[in-house]
Amino acid sequence: MRIYQAEDYKAMSRRAANIISAQVIYKPNCVLGLATGGTPVGLYQQLVDWYRKGDLSFAETRSVNLDEYLGLSPHHEQSYRYFMQVNLFDHIDIKPENTHVLDGLAKNPEAECAAYNQLIRDLGGIDLQLLGMGHNGHIAFNEPGDDFGLETHLVNLTESTINANQRFFESRDEVPRHALSMGIKNIMNARRILMVVSGEEKADIVCRAFAGPVTKEVPASVLQLHPDVTLVGDRAALHKLAEAGVPVCG
Ligand code: F6R
């Protein structure tokens, strides 16, 4: 596992964007696993900037997103499809048909999940999976206690995740209670993993995930078992890890 500490959020975003950019340059038709949330916004802006300058093209790139709220249409401002359009896809040359996000309006969620697993296989697997980490250690919507053997599945969101996501909705009642999410098995099958973390409020959970034991109680800790993980964080998110003696590169 490689851990890069950047000075601040902007530097973290640039470093992470560099890694994604390298992947796209080395293999233009690669499959990128993408994430939503606050942390990757800056790195998506950086990728858009490099695309506009002519340094990067996504014309052959395919993408699969980690997760989607159940019950939200792709046009709902809080849907993850909408997030991806606004923050990345609408501003680069990726072909719309090459972008894949789970369907939040699926009538049969189980069938949607099974089809998504098949899609990932048909694409040849994920070359680089981008991840953020929740305050409770979740990755995608794999919550504490969830089985590490799951593929894409229907999730009941925990109180802690509903509380954390409330800031994006007008009221707590509007926060969806269910989501569709890749499972830990899909994530662990990716050839390479890039996790981004930012801010002091992530420092404790980052430390538990990477300086503590691998445990279902901290889903991100499973990444210790993956052969090719890069963690990029700012100083605020990584300082406790460094203090715990885990080697961190500048
Ligand atoms: C997003 C996702 C989530 C987030 C996590 C961190 O697709 O799957 O697991 O990565 O909740 O979110 P932020 O970046 O907002 O702290």
CA dihedral over 140, 155, 175, 112, signed as positive or negative:
positive
Q: DSSP letter for 136, please.
A: T
| CB burial of residue 53 (10 Å; 0-12, 13-18, 19+) | exposed
* Structural domains of the chain ordered from first start: 2-243 (3.40.50.1360)
58's tokens: 């996504």
Q: pLDDT of 6-15, one tens digit each?
A: 999 999 999 9
Confirm if 132 and 196 have CB atoms less than 8 A apart.
yes
CA distance 80 to 37: 9
> Which atom of ligand 1 sits closest to the CA of residue 35?
7
Q: DSSP letter for 7, please.
A: S
The phi-psi region of residue 137 (left if phi > 0; otherwise alpha if psi is between -120 and 50; otherwise beta) is left
Q: pLDDT of 41-73, one tens digit each?
A: 999 999 999 999 999 999 999 999 999 999 999
Statement: residue 158 has pLDDT above 90 = no
65's tokens: 């997103």
pTM: 0.97
* Alpha carbon nearest to ligand 1 atom 2, residue: 140
* Alpha carbon nearest to ligand 1 atom 4, residue: 132
